[in-house]
Structure 1
Amino acid sequence: MTPAERLLLTAKRCEIDDLEHLTAACDIVGDVSRFVHALQKERGASNVYLASQGQRFAERRHERIDECMATEQALRVRLDALGDTAGRPATTARLLRRIAYVWHALDGLEALRSDIEALQTSPDDATQAFNQLVSALLSVVFEVADTAGDPEVTLALVAIFHLMQGKELAGQERACGAYGFTSGGFDDAHCQLLLHLIDAQQRCFDTCLEFTTEEGRQHWQREMPSRTLAGIQQLREMACGITALPKSASPLGETWYELTTLRIDAIQRVEAFLIGELSNLCLAKTLDARRSLTHHDDLRRELSDASPAVCQQLVELFDGSATHELGEVTARVVGSSLNRSLVELMRAQAGRLEALSDELENTRRALRERKLIERAKGLIMAHQQITEEQAYAFLRKMAMDQSKSMAEIAQTVLGLADILQPLPGEKKRDHATG
């Protein structure tokens, strides 16, 4: 084996190591997906239970808790294993920090369930607690997508992340609607929240479908239940005041819960399909890299293909001009139709790689900007004691007033983090006056 082949072989082994650890990180996405789905169902059942003062969904809520605990245990095992891979290529400090936050939040679930069981918390407060945990879980998926080095894997993760985020918003819509219908009506705050959730989740689904495969888009079309969607739309119109609520709206809480659950279960099946595609992609890339280790002829061929012939180098340097002092032979080689076709092929390949690189960079930029905006929202919410929707509206208004992007405004807000941190003992500001 030549020195060049040994070097390429070592590069292949490094590539396999990277892919194996990326696969381990991607496996977490599947566990997070299953746990979040179970957690979302527990949140919805808990809302009906609380809104009915414990009269409804008591038994169903316990079934959801059992399901949650099973998926939670599987996730803990996976997260604990990833924590042992510190320093590996697919494990970053940010990802490990996110996992630590998730683990801490999981430890608070038992106390939340006890408060719900004893009716010692409100539906809104319980929903907020569940939302924070789900948000921490989704941030793990975000970090996996943000740190993946393979372009195809990154695009698949971006699609999955947006689908999971959209499904979480759909779950929050289910919880909000379950509370409103079960309690007999919607006030302005819950009506506005419902409208925001409907709009935000659709944007997430549109982004997912933009980045996923054609097979993924077709699977989405097949899974969406048209009759269920029509029933949900009817109830949405009642909740938002477009059509009148019946005098006794309380039984609609269970109808709403069942219909929205059917829709979320359908989204979960699409999510599982995309995660399956991701697993197959990682496996195929790993197997392909491993196969090349035992085929030395492939290594030689790869080395030969990667090194452009002399005539191709001359074409790049001199653009095919025969007027340079290259001699008649070189001029004939450069001008031949065969060489021209090879050059055009190389340029076409380079163009495709550049386009893919641009698309990947745009995706990474969008992820970075989303992260800035989320951090800025959290800072504003903590300082002003306002809701997430109000914080987002605040950022958006600042961006419009100053003719800047949301990301630029978010960066400015984060630059003032030390000033905006609430002082110890500072009283919370009243929502109405803040």
Structure 2
Amino acid sequence: MPTHASLIEHFLLAARSSEMRTLDQLAHGCQLVAAVCELVHELQRERGISNIYLASGGARFGSEREEQRTRSDTAERHFYEYLRQMQEGEPSLWGSARLYHRTARVLLQLDDLAELRRGIRTCLLDTAEATQAWSDLIAGLLAIVFEAADIATDAEISRALVALFHFLQAKEHTGQERAWGSVGFASGSFTPELKARLLHLRESQQRCLDVFIRFTGEQERVNWAGIETSEETAELARLRRMVDGFDPASPIPADVSEIWFAVATSRIDHMRRLEQQLSAALMAMAQARLQQARLALQDNRSRLQEASEPESGPVSPLSLLLESTNDESSTMPVSGSVRALYDLLQEQAEHLQEMSDQLEEARSALTERKLIERAKGLLMQYQGLSEADAFAALRRSAMEGHCRLADVASRVIGAAEKLKG
């Protein structure tokens, strides 16, 4: 029997217990993600309605704006209710300082929501200011989802979170397209700048959807294909072509804004239903993995308790290794406790290695996103570019250099750090 057998057993079981606590944190994080998804969806809709209201000088969508505010308030209340449950429960259930920080920051932004709505109701804000304010709030909420994905240490849950996050981002770009398209139709004009913004948003949607399709399950890919081939998507494509063909000097009937809003909203509502399926599957997966971890912990305890001591005396770890390399006829006596310890060590090592290998791909997608977002921010800060122009510059450099976008982003960050130095 090893000299420190009790310590070995303790840390073997502690490893399983730690995995279970981590999965418990992930399960609560998935509940947070579900609450965020509901609130984001309602705020996206309120943003689009507000833009038509502002672009029409308050002549359109007045009653719709009030109705949608009620829906947004309900989703916000659900979000607060979940956070209060967390406040009253176990303080470390999320397990990430950055996740706590992101949440606190969003709560500050939500406190400013009444002022934003007042500015919209009185038409003191223009569409650009209002859209930016809504989008900043929604970006803060989506950052919570990103942090939840970034801290996930279970491979299966991590892949599901990466897929959900990028689907949410695609939906947000779709929501921004709805909002800015509503501005063009309601105001009766699509400037070259507005058309370029809408094109950038379409491209951003597709980039996020490519990552979503890469990480999601087969059934979810089938469901998404159904949305892509729907009549609503075909109608949206026709309206997009109409926008691309508009001359800035050509008048546009204002009532087309309501058609645009209805078509874009139908697509977003379809995306919301798929988003709910993804969120529900994620929570079910987290609970299933947590149950598996509980059973594994119970199994490990039972195996250690059932292991018996041999009569032949102690056997060293080296002897155990030598025995495993001998032929099956070897009769070297081995302690049952030693065998149980080494079997569990081997199983845990293989389990952790498998998780590490599977996590690498999911983590790489998040790391690349971090690099690209940071590089865009640097170009916007130091070269005065818009987000669309900053991304276009990165993409152009990648195409000219025949390299990945993330590699270009990494070089931009490196160059900026050298300049700072």
Same fold, judged at TM 0.5 (above): yes
Q: Which moved more, 1:23-32 or 1:79-88?
A: 79-88
Does 1 or 2 have the higher relative contact order (CA < 8 Å, sep 6+)?
A: 2
Task: Give secondary structure in 1 for the equivalent of 2:253.
Answer: coil
Query: Is the 8 Å Cα contact of residues 120 and 130 (structure 2) preserved in structure 1?
Result: yes
| Cα distance change, pair 297–146 in 1 and its aligned pair in 2 (3 A) | closer
Task: Give secondary structure in 2 for the equivalent of 1:56.
Answer: coil
Report the counterpart of residue 251 of structure 1 in structure 2.
255
Q: 2:99 aligns with which of 95, 98, 101?
A: 95
Q: Which moved more, 1:27-36 or 1:210-219?
A: 210-219
Task: Give secondary structure in 2 for the equivalent of 1:119.
Answer: coil
Report the counterpart of residue 343 of structure 2 in structure 1.
none
Tell me how far apart the structure 2 counterparts of residues 412 and 370 of structure 1 sit (CA, whole Å): 14
Tell me how far apart the structure 2 counterparts of residues 329 and 296 of structure 1 sit (CA, whole Å): 28
| Cα distance change, pair 383–34 in 1 and its aligned pair in 2 (3 A) | same
Task: Give secondary structure in 1 for the equivalent of 2:37.
Answer: helix
Tell me how far apart the structure 2 counterparts of residues 123 and 244 of structure 1 sit (CA, whole Å): 18
Report the counterpart of residue 154 of structure 2 in structure 1.
150
| Cα distance change, pair 172–276 in 1 and its aligned pair in 2 (3 A) | same
* Deviation digits for residues 281-339 of structure 1 (CA, Å, limit 9, x no counterpart): 111122233345556786459999xxxxx99967997xxxxxxxx68956xxxxxxxxx
Report the counterpart of residue 181 of structure 2 in structure 1.
177
* Deviation digits for residues 365-412 of structure 1 (CA, Å, limit 9, x no counterpart): 221121122123223323444321112223344556677654454445
Report the counterpart of residue 286 of structure 2 in structure 1.
282
1:229 to 2:228 alignment: no
Q: Which moved more, 1:95-104 or 1:410-419?
A: 410-419
Query: Is the 8 Å Cα contact of residues 185 and 252 (structure 2) preserved in structure 1?
Result: no
Q: 2:44 aligns with which of 13, 37, 40?
A: 40
TM-score by length of 2: 0.80
Alpha-carbon RMSD? 3.7
Unaligned runs of 5+ in 1: 305-309, 318-325, 331-345, 421-434
* Deviation digits for residues 164-215 of structure 1 (CA, Å, limit 9, x no counterpart): 0000000011011111111123111111111111121022122212211122
Tell me how far apart the structure 2 counterparts of residues 302 and 104 of structure 1 sit (CA, whole Å): 55
Tell me how far apart the structure 2 counterparts of residues 89 and 26 of structure 1 sit (CA, whole Å): 11
Query: Is the 8 Å Cα contact of residues 30 and 275 (structure 1) preserved in structure 2?
Result: yes
Query: Residue 61 of structure 1 aligns to which amino acid in structure 2?
Result: R
Task: Give secondary structure in 2 for the equivalent of 1:240.
Answer: helix
Query: Residue 365 of structure 2 aligns to which amino acid in structure 1?
Result: A
Report the counterpart of residue 333 of structure 1 in structure 2.
none
Once the 2 structures are TM-superposed, how far is the Cα of residue 82 of structure 1 from its aligned partner? 4.7
Report the counterpart of residue 14 of structure 1 in structure 2.
18
Report the counterpart of residue 198 of structure 2 in structure 1.
194
1:390 to 2:389 alignment: yes
Aligned length: 391
Tell me how far apart the structure 2 counterparts of residues 221 and 173 of structure 1 sit (CA, whole Å): 20
Report the counterpart of residue 364 of structure 1 in structure 2.
363
Once the 2 structures are TM-superposed, how far is the Cα of residue 146 of structure 1 from its aligned partner? 0.7
Report the counterpart of residue 315 of structure 2 in structure 1.
none
Query: Is the 8 Å Cα contact of residues 35 and 79 (structure 2) preserved in structure 1?
Result: yes
Q: Which moved more, 1:2-11 or 1:186-195?
A: 2-11
TM-score by length of 1: 0.78
| Cα distance change, pair 403–219 in 1 and its aligned pair in 2 (3 A) | closer
Tell me how far apart the structure 1 counterparts of residues 127 and 307 of structure 2 sit (CA, whole Å): 63
Query: Is the 8 Å Cα contact of residues 29 and 141 (structure 1) preserved in structure 2?
Result: yes
| Cα distance change, pair 292–393 in 1 and its aligned pair in 2 (3 A) | closer
Tell me how far apart the structure 1 counterparts of residues 254 and 305 of structure 2 sit (CA, whole Å): 71
Task: Give secondary structure in 1 for the equivalent of 2:245.
Answer: coil
| Cα distance change, pair 302–187 in 1 and its aligned pair in 2 (3 A) | farther
Q: 1:160 aligns with which of 149, 160, 164?
A: 164
Query: Residue 388 of structure 1 aligns to which amino acid in structure 2?
Result: E
Tell me how far apart the structure 2 counterparts of residues 355 and 39 of structure 1 sit (CA, whole Å): 40
Unaligned runs of 5+ in 2: 309-317, 331-345
Tell me how far apart the structure 1 counterparts of residues 387 and 88 of structure 2 sit (CA, whole Å): 35
Query: Is the 8 Å Cα contact of residues 145 and 154 (structure 1) preserved in structure 2?
Result: yes
Query: Residue 154 of structure 1 aligns to which amino acid in structure 2?
Result: S
Tell me how far apart the structure 1 counterparts of residues 249 and 213 of structure 2 sit (CA, whole Å): 34
User: What's the % identity of the aligned pairs?
Assistant: 38
Q: Which moved more, 1:168-177 or 1:13-22?
A: 13-22
Tell me how far apart the structure 2 counterparts of residues 303 and 72 of structure 1 sit (CA, whole Å): 54
Query: Is the 8 Å Cα contact of residues 5 and 299 (structure 1) preserved in structure 2?
Result: no
Tell me how far apart the structure 1 counterparts of residues 355 and 78 of structure 2 sit (CA, whole Å): 36
Counterparts of residues 20-419 of structure 1 (less than 5 Å): 20-79=24-83, 81-82=85-86, 88=92, 90-223=94-227, 226-241=230-245, 247-292=251-296, 299=303, 329=329, 357-399=356-398, 405-414=404-413, 416=416
Query: Is the 8 Å Cα contact of residues 166 and 209 (structure 2) preserved in structure 1?
Result: yes
Task: Give secondary structure in 2 for the equivalent of 1:136.
Answer: helix
Query: Is the 8 Å Cα contact of residues 55 and 183 (structure 2) preserved in structure 1?
Result: yes
Once the 2 structures are TM-superposed, how far is the Cα of residue 274 of structure 1 from its aligned partner? 0.7
Query: Is the 8 Å Cα contact of residues 15 and 289 (structure 1) preserved in structure 2?
Result: yes
| Cα distance change, pair 114–23 in 1 and its aligned pair in 2 (3 A) | same
